[in-house]
Chain A
Amino acid sequence: QKEVEQNSGPLSVPEGAIASLNCTYSDRGSQSFFWYRQYSGKSPELIMSIYSNGDKEDGRFTAQLNKASQYVSLLIRDSQPSDSATYLCAVGVGGGYQKVTFGIGTKLQVIP
């Protein structure tokens, strides 16, 4: 079992729709959860971080964390073609130092 699992996609959604990206992780000691966006040929860019159960909203992005189910998701409202990218889920395990493990990433395609 991989430590951080994501569906590689592609996930195709029409412009204006809600895109839902999902991620599961195996280590119950995980404490930090991150979503990165990576455009083709570019490096990952941090878009959301979440540390406690529940929802965290930032503009059109909402991160959701459920530690009991070991599940973290990213919702993108009013999806735009510019949101087309690969979205990487990352999970941090540890205390003072955290080892961060990345999922394979989900490729999102927003269709105009």
Chain B
Amino acid sequence: KAGVTQTPRYLIKTRGQQVTLSCSPISGHRSVSWYQQTPGQGLQFLFEYFSETQRNKGNFPGRFSGRQFSNSRSEMNVSTLELGDSALYLCATTTGGAHNEQFFGPGTRLTVL
């Protein structure tokens, strides 16, 4: 069974630009969660989607948004990029059931200059 895939793997952007990241879940997984990971803050939860609906949202500004498609693939968008948005962005997918074993993709490394 193929794992979680994320594209692109690396991105370099400048302040003020926007970026879209993509995540394709494991087959059969309907829940996709997004995390931001930085050395000082660890894994910070952004949001979670299940059946095209956002079920939960972390404490991030509105510049961070996401969506999920009918095939469970998900995208997240960051607008008006700031230097502090430089991070590893990870998506994790699960079946969405009671025991939420999450499986991570390889991540997208975003650098904002």
Contact = CB atoms under 8 A, between A and B. Distances in A.
B100 A101 contact: no
A57 to B, nearest CB: 18
A105 B56 contact: no
Interface residues of A, number: 24
B96 A101 contact: no
A97 B101 contact: no
Nearest to A103: B42
Contacts of B99: 32, 49, 51, 92, 98
A97 B53 CA distance: 13
A98 to B, nearest CB: 4
Interface string A98-111: 11111111000000
B89 to A, nearest CB: 10
A100 B43 CA distance: 11
B43 A102 contact: yes
The 10 lowest CB-CB distance pairs between A and B, nearest first, are: A102-B43, A98-B100, A104-B42, A43-B104, A43-B107, A92-B100, A44-B104, A43-B106, A49-B101, A100-B100
Interface of A: 32, 34, 36, 42-46, 49, 51, 88, 90, 92, 95-105
Interface of B: 33, 35, 42-43, 45, 48, 50, 55-56, 88, 90, 96-107
7 contacts: A36-B104, A43-B105, A97-B50, A97-B55, A97-B56, A100-B33, A104-B42
